[in-house]
Amino acid sequence: MKTITYICDKCKQSKSESDIVVIETTYQISRNSQASRYTARAKKDVCKQCLESAGMLYEMPDNTDVNEALKKSQKSFEDKLIDLLYDLGVQFQE
Protein backbone atom coordinates (compact mmCIF):
# COMPACT_ATOMS: atom_id res chain seq x y z
CA MET A 1 0.00 0.00 0.00
CA LYS A 2 1.22 3.48 -0.83
CA THR A 3 0.15 6.75 0.79
CA ILE A 4 0.77 10.07 -0.90
CA THR A 5 0.67 13.24 1.16
CA TYR A 6 0.01 16.59 -0.49
CA ILE A 7 1.33 19.67 1.29
CA CYS A 8 0.31 23.22 0.44
CA ASP A 9 3.45 25.24 -0.25
CA LYS A 10 1.83 28.35 1.24
CA CYS A 11 0.17 27.20 4.49
CA LYS A 12 2.26 23.99 4.86
CA GLN A 13 -0.82 21.93 5.80
CA SER A 14 -1.56 18.42 4.59
CA LYS A 15 -4.33 18.39 1.96
CA SER A 16 -6.08 15.90 -0.29
CA GLU A 17 -5.12 15.71 -3.96
CA SER A 18 -8.41 17.36 -4.96
CA ASP A 19 -7.69 20.34 -2.66
CA ILE A 20 -4.38 21.19 -4.37
CA VAL A 21 -4.01 23.53 -7.35
CA VAL A 22 -0.66 23.56 -9.17
CA ILE A 23 0.67 27.04 -9.97
CA GLU A 24 3.50 27.18 -12.47
CA THR A 25 5.45 30.35 -13.22
CA THR A 26 8.16 31.08 -15.75
CA TYR A 27 10.37 34.05 -16.38
CA GLN A 28 13.14 34.86 -18.79
CA ILE A 29 16.59 36.08 -17.92
CA SER A 30 18.68 37.79 -20.57
CA ARG A 31 22.38 38.40 -20.45
CA ASN A 32 23.70 41.99 -20.82
CA SER A 33 22.42 42.94 -24.28
CA GLN A 34 23.37 39.55 -25.70
CA ALA A 35 20.92 37.41 -27.60
CA SER A 36 21.12 34.56 -25.08
CA ARG A 37 18.08 34.05 -22.86
CA TYR A 38 17.50 31.63 -20.04
CA THR A 39 14.11 30.48 -18.81
CA ALA A 40 13.51 29.68 -15.16
CA ARG A 41 10.45 27.70 -14.08
CA ALA A 42 8.86 27.05 -10.71
CA LYS A 43 5.92 24.85 -9.74
CA LYS A 44 4.10 25.25 -6.45
CA ASP A 45 1.20 23.34 -4.93
CA VAL A 46 -1.31 25.69 -3.32
CA CYS A 47 -4.51 24.61 -1.60
CA LYS A 48 -7.89 25.96 -2.61
CA GLN A 49 -8.34 27.67 0.76
CA CYS A 50 -5.16 29.71 0.31
CA LEU A 51 -6.20 30.71 -3.20
CA GLU A 52 -9.66 31.66 -1.98
CA SER A 53 -8.21 33.78 0.83
CA ALA A 54 -6.15 35.60 -1.82
CA GLY A 55 -9.33 36.23 -3.83
CA MET A 56 -8.34 33.92 -6.68
CA LEU A 57 -10.72 31.51 -8.45
CA TYR A 58 -9.86 27.82 -8.58
CA GLU A 59 -13.15 26.63 -10.10
CA MET A 60 -15.60 28.32 -12.42
CA PRO A 61 -18.69 29.24 -10.36
CA ASP A 62 -22.04 27.87 -11.58
CA ASN A 63 -24.62 30.28 -12.98
CA THR A 64 -22.11 33.04 -13.71
CA ASP A 65 -21.05 34.77 -16.87
CA VAL A 66 -17.87 32.92 -17.88
CA ASN A 67 -16.27 35.95 -19.54
CA GLU A 68 -16.94 38.17 -16.51
CA ALA A 69 -15.60 35.52 -14.10
CA LEU A 70 -12.45 35.01 -16.20
CA LYS A 71 -11.84 38.75 -16.41
CA LYS A 72 -12.22 39.13 -12.63
CA SER A 73 -10.01 36.10 -12.01
CA GLN A 74 -7.28 37.40 -14.35
CA LYS A 75 -7.31 40.82 -12.63
CA SER A 76 -7.14 39.20 -9.19
CA PHE A 77 -4.29 36.91 -10.30
CA GLU A 78 -2.31 39.84 -11.69
CA ASP A 79 -2.90 41.91 -8.54
CA LYS A 80 -1.99 39.10 -6.14
CA LEU A 81 0.81 37.35 -8.06
CA ILE A 82 3.77 39.12 -6.41
CA ASP A 83 2.27 38.72 -2.92
CA LEU A 84 1.63 35.03 -3.60
CA LEU A 85 5.19 34.52 -4.85
CA TYR A 86 6.55 36.17 -1.67
CA ASP A 87 4.32 33.90 0.44
CA LEU A 88 5.70 30.89 -1.42
CA GLY A 89 9.29 31.88 -0.62
CA VAL A 90 10.35 33.42 -3.93
CA GLN A 91 12.95 36.11 -3.30
CA PHE A 92 13.47 39.14 -5.50
CA GLN A 93 16.78 40.91 -5.82
CA GLU A 94 16.50 44.63 -5.14
- Please state the pTM of the whole predicted model: 0.69
The confidence score (pLDDT) of residue 17 equals 92
Q: State how far the Cα of 31 lies from the Cα of 12, in Å rounded to an integer.
A: 35
Average model confidence (pLDDT) across the chain: 82
Q: How confident is the model at residue 36 (pLDDT cuts 50, 70, 90)?
A: confident
Q: How confident is the model at residue 34 (pLDDT cuts 50, 70, 90)?
A: low
How is 39-70 classified by DSSP, letter by letter? Answer: EEEEEEEEEHHHHHHTT--SSPPTTS-HHHHH
Reply yes or no on whether the pLDDT at 88 is more than 90: no
Q: Show Cβ contacts of residue 78 under 8 Å, excluding neighbours closer than 6 positions.
A: none
